């Protein structure tokens, strides 16, 4: 598991890709951070409540309040944090510098708070990093100017305006140099985004030359010269604590997850004692460790440095909760990725967790963060043969069994409230073909290196072939896709994101690499992080071909759409197998008629029961703690669609539709059943419609009534729609996608229009929808005749049942009447526009609550070169001159270039303060009658964010 330095960009036929050569992805100076689990993020400055605007008064209150550096150091150690990031020179905290500075320009203290903190940290092995901002926009947001341009100009001997980005960049550049000279024991800089002055004047290169052992961390972007990529406050995942689902940086890049511990309030102390969600916070802490990510936890220090009581209570809790499991978190790596290990993520019966690994040896730690509803944990073993398991907190040895690619830990009676950790001893990974024996049409897939990868080049469908060297047994593929995209659709910091992972696939096996025959397996891989396994049953051949038909990313996220990347594929010939069997395996139950046991290596226990057309398998002792409704999971096989009849305690049979699959690879279907307290009898039999096999059943409590399977619902057009006068018509398309393993039944998709509106088109229905499947419908919606459109939100609803319970997912079409003097109006975020590599982000003050961000720029600006907003189908009735209005937000002077119908671009210079305040600019344009195109772009530097455009006949000369 030794880390290696990326030294070059490797190219192979345009498909083998690596990080830029100047990206120091792994360097010895990073080792202390790689060995860390967490850091403490402290936003503390002049605007810490109660707000100060006088530097001396703030310093006096800090000192008189009893501030001491030792308190912060001790609190960090309680949290298991190895470092502190001090964010005092912050745009929203008054630009205070907690050290005596020779450079005038903003608050600087006489007392050396920074120096005292560095010294206190050095004494207890807690490193200090200094936060630096690029942003002058909040210089007077309290009504008091916090930046002193006159003093800095006198110091420089020329006029410098600190409220502009270039002036502030020069000022902060001098501060970087001063800090490097004064504090050699500092650990580095934590930099909040980029300033053009820094880039143009080689700031980072100076840091590297002067302090080569210091770290550089950058917020939200992957800048090659930086050591660390930080991901700020990701939310919306399921479960909520699984922060890495929103990460987009593959290992071995150093990655931080920086998030607030208080669940409400600001990043800094605002005067309130806000609660800390213990479950969310501990879950994030452990899950990040299980993905080789560092938890940078933000707490809100008061003026005197102390934390509010609820944060102190959490820190005290962590000081006792962490030590018993510290060996499983510190100096470990995430399991299931480039360092090996079993599969993390969602397990059985609602369980969710991660794997951590020491960097040497055969130990693994299974962290069960969300416990299952049963007394066992079942997860993919990824080929590791387990020799022993114990509870890390108690030392209690645990029973376990392995078969069909799964490890099951049995009889768990003691669960920690937040993280039950099992110490797993293994004899290493077994059953795989050695990498050196494999050849591939994409050599990067079998080179043993996760620092190079295969890229499909934007092509789908696409296939890769693996050559085993000779004809042999093939049981399954273990696929590690590049961890460069989130696992679910989201929009963050101005760019839409979606999973670039494999969705629909087929696998073929061949003796000669030319004749492939029917697929050995077809299916859908989940959008999930870590190793994904494709079971093939028992196949024989020399060549294996993986064909990828589709990926999860949608067209709304062009950065990931159709862009498949795979790190490694391994081929296994067999599964680890232990003699202990799981409860409720079919082959251990009573059989009658033609029911018989058949070998099935991919099944639990290595066997299944077939012949159920005229046979029955009966479970006579299925126990339940109390009478009521339970979730019954049936693991089944079938080559063709079939039906299994389930009889519970002699009641009327329930019919389960089994989809086509593979005769020796199980799939799962769950349904609700009513059980008695104590023992129950469950009989399974087939029907003449098809012959299914039964691997096992599993019984668990029903999920909470509030549970809804995870779906993605899209409605097109999206974004606020502006209507002209009179009756209007919209063509609306909606798509429902199922993102989880739970099956949806009785699915219907249709718009629900208000009174007076009409719909052309029927509801779209499906008996079932399974993982990755979609349901799409298109309708024509027409507003009431004889009047203008009123403000209307029209829901498009998908209704369904899951485990017998009804559920609904809703999208909507938003319609508004445009102003009478406008002949055209459209939101920038409207799905009818093309935005290239730009992205959509929330903007409460903007029209429709959204805008398009990250327009323009080039590679040297840290922006995508292909980022723009192209308005197509801009329709006007009459050719001539029009006034084009653009609503935008901007921080400082920037420019759009506006291109109409492909003509010469027009530069539009704008200025403003703050990206939350919309402004309007106008310019004359000449349009033709009918359809026109209008493009907002900037090919060299970042442009303002764009809210919407509108057209008015004529030009007023504004």
Mean pLDDT for back-to-back runs of 10 residues, the chain (958 residues): 30 36 80 97 97 97 98 98 98 96 98 98 98 91 93 98 94 98 98 90 96 92 90 89 93 96 96 97 98 98 98 98 97 96 96 96 96 96 97 97 96 97 97 93 94 94 97 97 88 71 97 96 95 95 98 84 95 90 89 95 94 94 95 94 94 92 92 96 87 93 91 90 95 94 94 96 95 95 94 96 94 94 95 86 90 75 70 96 96 90 96 86 96 95 94 83
639 burial via Cβ count (<10 Å: 0-12, 13-18, 19+): middle
248 burial via Cβ count (<10 Å: 0-12, 13-18, 19+): buried
Per-residue model confidence (pLDDT) at position 493: 54
Q: What is the DSSP string of 313-362?
A: HHHHHHHHHSGGGGGGTTTEEETTBTTB----EE-GGG-EEEEEEESSSS
HSE-CB at 592 with a 13 A cutoff on CA atoms is 6
Alpha helices, DSSP H, located in 13-112: 31-34, 55-64, 69-78
Are 6 and 254 in contact, with CB atoms under 8 Å apart? no
687-691-695 Cα angle (round to 5): 110
In 3D space, the residue among 112, 86, 113, 146 whose CA is nearest the CA of residue 268 turns out to be 86
d(CA 367, CA 365): 6
Are 559 and 837 in contact, with CB atoms under 8 Å apart? yes
Are 339 and 365 in contact, with CB atoms under 8 Å apart? no
HSE-CB at 549 with a 13 A cutoff on CA atoms is 11
Per-residue model confidence (pLDDT) at position 219: 82
In 3D space, the residue among 571, 239, 576 whose CA is nearest the CA of residue 386 turns out to be 576
The SS3 assignment for 889 reads: strand
In 3D space, the residue among 786, 840, 783, 769 whose CA is nearest the CA of residue 815 turns out to be 783
Per-residue model confidence (pLDDT) at position 862: 46
In 3D space, the residue among 123, 648, 38 whose CA is nearest the CA of residue 322 turns out to be 38
907-910 — which CB contacts under 8 Å span 24+ positions? Answer: 910/944
In 3D space, the residue among 202, 608, 576, 220 whose CA is nearest the CA of residue 424 turns out to be 576
In 3D space, the residue among 644, 21, 47, 104 whose CA is nearest the CA of residue 5 turns out to be 21
Per-residue model confidence (pLDDT) at position 20: 43
Give Cβ neighbours of residue 79 (< 8 Å, ≥ 6 apart): 38, 40, 297, 315, 318, 319
Beta strands at 721-723 and 805-817: parallel, antiparallel or unpaired: parallel
Beta bridge partners of 495: 492
Q: Say if pTM beats, i.e. exceeds, 0.75.
A: yes
d(CA 91, CA 191): 12
d(CA 115, CA 101): 12
3-state SS track over 897-957: EEEECCCCCEEEEECCCCCCCCEEEEEEEEECCEEEEEEEECCCCECCEEEEEEEEECCCC
Residues 47-89 have pLDDT tens digits of 999 999 999 999 999 999 999 999 999 999 999 999 999 999 9
CA of residue 479 relative to chain centroid, distance: 19
Give Cβ neighbours of residue 57 (< 8 Å, ≥ 6 apart): none
In 3D space, the residue among 603, 568, 567, 379 whose CA is nearest the CA of residue 475 turns out to be 603
718 burial via Cβ count (<10 Å: 0-12, 13-18, 19+): buried
Give Cβ neighbours of residue 832 (< 8 Å, ≥ 6 apart): 717, 826, 872, 873
Token readout for 211 is 């302090």
In 3D space, the residue among 526, 517, 7, 31 whose CA is nearest the CA of residue 254 turns out to be 31
Beta strands at 774-782 and 758-760: parallel, antiparallel or unpaired: antiparallel
Helix H or strand E segment including 165: helix 165-182
Per-residue model confidence (pLDDT) at position 958: 53
89-95-101 Cα angle (round to 5): 75
HSE-CB at 865 with a 13 A cutoff on CA atoms is 3
User: Cβ–Cβ contacts within 10 Å for residue 881, how many?
Assistant: 11
Token readout for 383 is 């080929």
Whether the CA torsion 102, 108, 113, 118 is positive or negative: it is: negative
In 3D space, the residue among 226, 169, 190 whose CA is nearest the CA of residue 86 turns out to be 190
Give Cβ neighbours of residue 923 (< 8 Å, ≥ 6 apart): 883, 884, 886, 898, 906, 908
d(CA 958, CA 956): 6
> Token match 């406008």: residue?
822
Q: Rounded to the nearest 5°, which phi and psi values hold at 410?
A: -105, 155
d(CA 653, CA 134): 68
Token readout for 875 is 């329709």
Beta strands at 744-751 and 764-769: parallel, antiparallel or unpaired: antiparallel
Helix H or strand E segment including 764: strand 764-769
d(CA 144, CA 51): 12
Q: What domains sit in the chain, N to C, each tagged with a CATH number?
A: 35-321 (3.20.20.80), 332-429 (2.60.40.1180), 435-572 (2.60.120.260), 586-701 (2.60.120.260), 711-817 (2.60.40.10), 824-953 (2.60.120.260)
Residues 342-379 have pLDDT tens digits of 999 999 999 999 999 999 889 999 999 999 999 999 99
102 burial via Cβ count (<10 Å: 0-12, 13-18, 19+): exposed
Whether the CA torsion 913, 916, 920, 923 is positive or negative: it is: positive
Token readout for 180 is 């490097």
> Token match 């990460």: residue?
247
């Amino acid at each position: 598991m030794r880390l290696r330095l990326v030294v070059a960009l490797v190219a192979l036929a345009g498909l083998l890709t690596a990080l830029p050569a100047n990206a120091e992805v792994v360097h010895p100076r990073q080792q202390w951070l790689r060995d860390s689990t967490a850091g403490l993020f402290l936003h503390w400055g002049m605007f810490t409540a109660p707000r100060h605007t006088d530097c001396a008064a703030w310093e006096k209150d800090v000192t008189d309040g009893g501030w001491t550096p030792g308190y912060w150091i001790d609190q960090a150690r309680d949290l298991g944090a190895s470092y502190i990031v001090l964010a005092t020179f912050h745009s929203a905290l008054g630009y205070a510098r907690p050290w005596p500075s020779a450079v005038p320009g903003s608050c600087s203290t006489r007392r050396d708070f920074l120096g005292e903190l560095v010294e206190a940290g050095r004494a207890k092995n807690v490193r200090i990093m200094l936060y630096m901002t690029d942003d002058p926009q909040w210089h007077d947001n309290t009504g008091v100017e916090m930046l002193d341009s006159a003093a800095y100009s006198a110091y420089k001997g020329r006029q410098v305006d600190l409220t502009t980005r270039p002036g502030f960049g020069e000022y902060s550049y001098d501060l970087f140099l001063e800090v490097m000279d004064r504090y050699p024991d500092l650990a580095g800089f934590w930099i909040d985004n980029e300033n053009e002055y820094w880039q143009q004047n080689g700031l980072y290169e100076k840091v590297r030359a002067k302090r080569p052992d210091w770290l550089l961390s950058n917020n939200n972007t992957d800048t090659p010269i930086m050591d660390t990529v930080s991901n700020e406050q990701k939310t919306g995942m399921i479960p909520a604590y699984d922060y890495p689902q929103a990460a987009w940086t593959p290992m071995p890049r150093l990655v931080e997850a920086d998030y607030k511990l208080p669940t409400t309030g600001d990043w800094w102390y605002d005067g309130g004692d806000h609660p800390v969600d213990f479950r969310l916070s501990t879950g994030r802490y452990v899950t990040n460790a299980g993905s080789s990510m560092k938890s940078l936890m933000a707490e809100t220090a008061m003026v005197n440095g102390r934390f509010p009581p609820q944060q102190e209570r959490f820190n005290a809790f962590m000081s006792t909760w962490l030590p018993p499991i510290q060996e499983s978190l510190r100096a470990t790596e995430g399991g299931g990725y480039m360092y090996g290990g079993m599969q993390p993520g969602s397990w059985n019966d609602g369980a969710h967790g991660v794997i951590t690994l020491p960097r040497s040896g055969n130990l693994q730690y299974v962290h069960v963060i969300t416990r299952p509803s049963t007394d066992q944990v079942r997860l993919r073993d990824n080929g590791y043969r387990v020799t022993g398991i114990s509870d890390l907190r108690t030392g209690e040895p645990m029973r376990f069994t392995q078969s069909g690619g799964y490890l099951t830990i049995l009889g768990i009676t003691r669960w920690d409230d937040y993280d039950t950790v099992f110490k797993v001893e293994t004899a290493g990974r077994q059953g795989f073909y050695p990498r050196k024996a494999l050849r591939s049409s994409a050599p990067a897939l079998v080179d043993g290196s996760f620092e190079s990868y295969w890229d499909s080049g934007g092509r789908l469908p696409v296939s890769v072939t693996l050559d085993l060297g000779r004809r042999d047994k093939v049981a399954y593929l273990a696929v590690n896709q590049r961890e460069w995209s989130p696992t679910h659709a989201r929009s963050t910091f101005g760019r839409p994101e979606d999973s670039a992972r494999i969705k629909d696939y087929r696998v073929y096996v061949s003796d000669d690499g030319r004749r492939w025959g029917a697929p050995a397996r077809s299916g859908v891989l989940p959008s999930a992080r870590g190793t994904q396994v494709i079971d093939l049953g028992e196949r024989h051949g020399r060549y294996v071909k993986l064909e990828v038909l589709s990926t999860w990313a949608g067209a709304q996220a062009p950065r990931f759409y159709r862009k498949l990347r795979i790190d490694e594929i391994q081929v296994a010939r067999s599964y680890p197998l232990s003699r202990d069997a799981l409860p409720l395996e079919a082959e251990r139950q009573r059989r009658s008629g033609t029911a018989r046991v058949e070998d099935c290596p991919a099944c639990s226990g290595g066997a299944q029961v077939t012949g159920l057309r005229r046979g029955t398998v009966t479970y006579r002792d299925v126990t339940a703690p109390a009478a009521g409704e339970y979730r019954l999971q049936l693991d089944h096989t079938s080559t063709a669609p079939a039906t299994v009849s389930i009889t519970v305690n002699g009641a009327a049979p329930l019919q389960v539709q089994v989809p086509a699959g593979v005769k020796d690879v199980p799939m799962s279907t769950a349904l609700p059943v009513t059980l008695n307290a104590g023992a129950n009898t469950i009989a399974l039999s087939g029907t003449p419609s098809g012959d299914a096999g039964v691997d096992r059943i599993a019984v668990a409590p029903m999920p909470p009534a509030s549970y809804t399977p995870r779906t993605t619902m899209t409605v097109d057009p999206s974004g606020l729609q502006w209507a002209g006068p009179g009756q209007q018509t919209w063509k609306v398309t909606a798509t429902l996608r199922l993102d989880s393993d739970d099956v949806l039944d009785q699915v219907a998709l249709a718009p629900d229009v208000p009174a007076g509106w009409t719909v052309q088109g029927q509801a779209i229905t499906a008996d079932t929808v399974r993982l990755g499947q979609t349901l799409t419908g298109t309708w024509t919606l027409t507003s009431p005749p004889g009047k203008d459109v009123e403000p209307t939100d029209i829901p498009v609803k998908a209704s369904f049942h899951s485990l017998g319970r009804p559920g609904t997912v809703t999208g909507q079409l938003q319609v508004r009447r445009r102003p009478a003097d406008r002949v055209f109006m459209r939101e920038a975020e409207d799905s009818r526009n093309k935005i290239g590599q730009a992205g959509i982000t929330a903007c409460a003050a903007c029209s429709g609550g959204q805008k398009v961000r990250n327009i323009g720029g080039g590679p040297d600006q840290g922006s995508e070169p292909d980022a723009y907003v192209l308005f197509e189908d801009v329709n006007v009735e009459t050719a001539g001159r029009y006034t084009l209005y653009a609503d935008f937000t901007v921080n400082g002077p920037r420019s759009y270039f506006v291109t109409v119908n492909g003509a010469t671009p027009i530069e539009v210079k704008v200025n403003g303060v703050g990206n939350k305040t919309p402004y309007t600019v106008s310019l004359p344009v000449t349009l033709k009658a009918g359809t026109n195109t209008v493009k907002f772009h900037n090919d060299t530097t970042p442009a303002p964010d764009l809210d919407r455009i509108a057209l008015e006949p004529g030009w007023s000369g504004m």
